[in-house]
Every structure is written in C-alpha cells, then in structure tokens.
C-alpha cells in the first residue's frame, strides 16, 4: 500500500509552499525530490519518479519552490531555494522517522540541493542523487557550476542522458572523476535532459526511465 499525503511546508519568514509525501509501506529510504526550473512538483516526470520509487519501496517528499508556488516565471535566488530544501529535509525527517534520508532532484532542484549541502550539510542526509545535473547552459559547455561539488563529503549519484544539452559529457566526466569514489556517474544511452530517447534507439521513454529508477534504487540500497 502507498500513502499519498498532501501538506503545507513552512519555510520560516519566506512563507509556505505545497508538498507531497508519497510513502509505501515499510519504506527503506525517503528521497527529498526537488523539481526543475520550468515545472512544479506535480509535473508528469515528478509524478512518475515518485510512483516508480514507491513501487521499489522508496518514499519521496516533493515540494514547490516559492517562485513556483506563487506562479512567478523566474526561479528563486539560491538562498531562498536553499532554505526551501532545508525545510523539506526537516519535513521529510519528521514524517519518516528512522528512515534513511537522501536528497536531490531534477535539474535546477538537484543543483540547488548540492549547493545547499556544500554550504552546510543537510541534517541526516546520507547521499545526493541528481536526475540530470545542469552543468551548463544549452550549447555553452562549462564546468563552473560544478565547482562547489568538491566541498561535498557524502555520496553522489549523477544520472545523465548522453544527449543532455545541459551536461556535455566531455566536461561532466572529468568533473566526476575528480570527485573520486564519492561520486558515481550513470549514463542513459540516448537520453535527453529528461531521459527521453529517440524512436530510432529501439526503446521507449518508459524503458529509459525504468533504467534510471532501477539504478537509483540500487544505489540507495548500497547506502542502506
């Protein structure tokens, strides 16, 4: 049985945002799942990840960043995003006591989570998982956005499509190699920034996402 609970998340002086806990019976971990820059926690990608992880015995705690809650076009400043992530981690810990915590998310959400962790460790979070880490702007390869990752001491999993225009693998692979044993890269062959694949690849988007979720669940099991 899977419980889906909608609630409000208090971010102190910043305000309140919507959140969703998806928790299967006997969950062995809870993943604090932050959304990307262009879509909120209810986007179909987020729903599919939450449902897929629930079927694998892993809870998720989704939440909106304040700008998305208020339907503003521009993402929040990093300090605001970091505060939202810290509130979400604390909320997940309260709702899932005794369950191992992980954090990260889709694109922008994952990068903001890594920045927050690099500034001050997120309490009780054992690892970070990125669903398409946005290393640079489209068609502007660079590694500057990854400089803060060196200051993170917990395990990190990078799930990246080989067609991801926001993460040129020629730049990402050396970054991950420089991080040593704490960082793992899993490349989804033919996947774009959301792991969608071309029809000529011979497999479906569902199959590619299954690979992503299976890999994430296996990595979480190693941490457990």
78 within 8 A of 44, measured Cβ to Cβ: no
DSSP 191-222: --TT----GGGSS-HHHHHHHHHHHHHHHHHH
Among candidates 92, 80, 113, which has minimal Cα distance to 13? 80
Q: What is the mean pLDDT of residues 122-143?
A: 95
Taking only the tens place, the pLDDT of each residue in 16-74 is 999 999 999 999 999 999 999 999 999 999 999 999 999 999 999 999 999 999 999 89
Is CATH 3.40.50.1820 correct for 2-223?
Answer: yes
| Structure-block tokens of residue 7 | 């609630």
Rounded to whole angstroms, the Cα distance separating 187 from 159 reads: 6
Among candidates 49, 79, 65, 41, which has minimal Cα distance to 217? 49
What pLDDT does 224 receive? 79
Rounded to whole angstroms, the Cα distance separating 7 from 23 reads: 13
pLDDT over 90 (residue 114): yes
Domain ranges across the chain = 2-223
Taking only the tens place, the pLDDT of each residue in 99-112 is 999 999 999 999 99
What pLDDT does 162 receive? 97
The model's confidence at residue 135, banded by pLDDT at 50, 70 and 90, is very high
Q: What is the mean pLDDT of residues 150-174?
A: 96
Rounded to whole angstroms, the Cα distance separating 38 from 143 reads: 22
CA distances from 91 to 9, 24, 37, 80 (A): 7, 17, 22, 16
Rounded to whole angstroms, the Cα distance separating 125 from 115 reads: 14
What pLDDT does 53 receive? 98
58 within 8 A of 220, measured Cβ to Cβ: yes
pLDDT over 90 (residue 7): yes
Taking only the tens place, the pLDDT of each residue in 185-224 is 999 999 999 999 998 998 999 999 999 999 999 999 999 7
């Amino acid at each position: 049985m899977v419980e889906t609970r909608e609630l409000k998340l208090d971010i102190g002086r910043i305000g309140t945002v919507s959140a969703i806990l998806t928790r299967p019976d006997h969950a062995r971990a809870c993943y604090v799942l932050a959304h990307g820059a262009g879509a909120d926690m209810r986007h179909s990608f987020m729903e599919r990840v939450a449902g897929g992880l629930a079927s694998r015995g892993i809870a998720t705690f989704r939440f909106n960043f304040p700008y998305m809650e208020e339907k503003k076009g521009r993402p929040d400043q990093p300090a605001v995003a970091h505060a939202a992530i810290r509130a979400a981690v604390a909320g997940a810990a309260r709702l899932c006591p005794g369950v191992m915590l992980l954090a990260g998310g889709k694109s922008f959400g994952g990068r903001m989570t890594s920045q927050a962790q690099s500034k001050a460790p997120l309490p009780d979070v054992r690892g970070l998982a990125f669903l398409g880490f946005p290393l640079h702007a489209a068609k502007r390869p660079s590694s500057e956005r990854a400089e803060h990752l060196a200051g993170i001491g917990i395990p990190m999993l990078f799930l990246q499509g080989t067609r991801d225009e926001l993460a040129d693998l020629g730049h990402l692979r050396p970054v991950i190699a420089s991080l040593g044993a704490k960082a793992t890269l899993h490349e989804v062959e033919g996947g774009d920034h959301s792991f969608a694949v071309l029809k000529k690849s011979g497999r479906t988007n569902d199959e590619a996402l299954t690979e992503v979720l299976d890999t994430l669940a296996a990595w979480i099991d190693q941490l457990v």
